[in-house]
Structure 1
């Protein structure tokens, strides 16, 4: 690893990736508030050759919103193809992680309700999250509705209406998708 740690650079020298497929407008102000409160916990990642941002477009936009002149950047010596792959991986891989809901509830109970929006948990300011009970398999057994014995199976899954059931459903569906390497579509 020959790349250096982050250095502080003039924000105007960075070039956003014009093909960035991530839509982040709705969270820029939340990230700006986090930066205002905690500073930069993670630097921007940029290509050494052309200062193109690889990872951290939302942090970059939040820094602009805050009127910052200098931000921390880690420059990497990557070709354009690898830069694109890293940019996609930086956004996508974290989506596969799940929460330990009991541990999360315990931590969030210690957080001031005023701080919940700053850390991205503003949906839980009414306290309902703490009453949720996440059991191991809230959906029960899934009945196989396939018509023939092939590698393809079709399942009908009814999506619940209330918040608690949706959270349980999401956890169970995520577990199934990961456990069986499932591919799915919604019709």
Structure 2
């Protein structure tokens, strides 16, 4: 027998590789929940990862709900859960509308509810086409602002040609670091910080949903800013975008009261024009040495970037994720081993 249970919304985890994009539907679903209640439960696996209901989850967060109805699909195998997640999204695409019947149904409701709140295009002969167009433009602008976190950007707190959000320098020594992927299964404690030296797909959700993750991250002693990748194969515009996203998340963390250690990312020398913007001199910064020794060209790019960072930022300390690759840092260095909970050692100058 299927059992519906109430679960804390903070205990639910979006599936990181969910291929269905749903941001455009969140506002309409939130309006539906506000009007009619939460009538369709979210389906999760035994670990609390969402199987079906990502849009309802985002809508519930938008409504500041604390608990949501859920069904735990503990009768399905891992493969069945993957298949069901895809099938549940796909079957919705197969249904079509009988437009004549739809207009009749919408007409019956015209004096009761504004069905455009739920994503329907309403033809109203009493409104001019210009008025409808302006409303549609307003809704689309709102969705765009939210999707790109534009409400969080403050041009008065940014610098450089690319308007990188400013993160203030901190003189801080982390005692222990864990990866972001352990955020929801770990408890904050004294001296414990969070790093993002993991695959990008595991932390894209921080950018997609900062309202959920920023407060959780800020409970830890320190947070390294997200290490959004800068690959040589990327166009420069994407590299600028990923540096910008890291800075903005860092600024949001500062606003939440977190101790923020900027993660430095760069690629070819052309990226030096923007990749260190928004950072004050004289603080603690983090870099990674993972993979830089695999080929000579990669090591040279890494070394050139460190040289530039030392020149521009004049750090008091570097938190280096990975081993010593023979670079002679002109400041204190803390090496962090590449393990689940990293042991840390310090090389003073």
Residues 1:51 and 2:48 are matched in the alignment:
yes
Structure number with bigger Rg: 2
1:17-56 pair list within 5 angstroms: 17-48=15-46, 50-56=47-53
8 A Cα contact 1:54 1:83, kept in partner? yes
Note the C-alpha offset of 1:72. Answer: 0.3
Match of residue 72, structure 1, among 69, 72, 76: 69
- Whole-Å Cα distance in 1 between the matches of residues 99 and 110 of structure 2? 18
**What's the TM-score, normalizing by structure 1?**
0.61
Note the C-alpha offset of 1:127. Answer: 4.9
- Whole-Å Cα distance in 2 between the matches of residues 93 and 17 of structure 1? 19
Query: 1:119-147 CA distances to partner (integer Å, 9 max, x unpaired)?
Result: 321x224359xxxxxxxxxxxxxxxxxxx
1:85-96 pair list within 5 angstroms: 85-96=83-94
Query: 1:29-51 CA distances to partner (integer Å, 9 max, x unpaired)?
Result: 11111111111121001112x11
Instruction: Identify the residue that residue 11 of structure 1 maps to in structure 2.
Output: 9
- Whole-Å Cα distance in 2 between the matches of residues 17 and 71 of structure 1? 17
Residues 1:120 and 2:119 are matched in the alignment:
yes
**What's the TM-score, normalizing by structure 2?**
0.34
8 A Cα contact 1:30 1:120, kept in partner? yes
Farther off after superposition, 105-114 or 72-81: 105-114
Instruction: Identify the residue that residue 148 of structure 1 maps to in structure 2.
Output: none
- Whole-Å Cα distance in 2 between the matches of residues 7 and 57 of structure 1? 17
Q: Can you give the 5+ residue segments of structure 1 that lack an aligned partner in the other structure?
A: 129-187
Match of residue 103, structure 1, among 98, 101, 107: 101
Higher percent of residues as strand: 2
Farther off after superposition, 69-78 or 24-33: 24-33
Matched residue SS, 2:115 = coil
Superposition RMSD in Å: 1.8
- Whole-Å Cα distance in 1 between the matches of residues 10 and 44 of structure 2? 13
- Whole-Å Cα distance in 2 between the matches of residues 22 and 73 of structure 1? 20
- Whole-Å Cα distance in 1 between the matches of residues 102 and 31 of structure 2? 22
8 A Cα contact 2:41 2:69, kept in partner? yes
8 A Cα contact 1:116 1:125, kept in partner? no
Matched residue SS, 1:117 = helix
8 A Cα contact 1:55 1:90, kept in partner? yes
Matched residue SS, 1:17 = coil
- Structure 1 ranges of 4+ moved more than 6 A: none
Q: How many residues are paired up?
A: 124
- Identify the structure with bigger relative contact order (alpha carbons < 8 Å, sequence gap 6+): 1
Residues 1:62 and 2:48 are matched in the alignment:
no
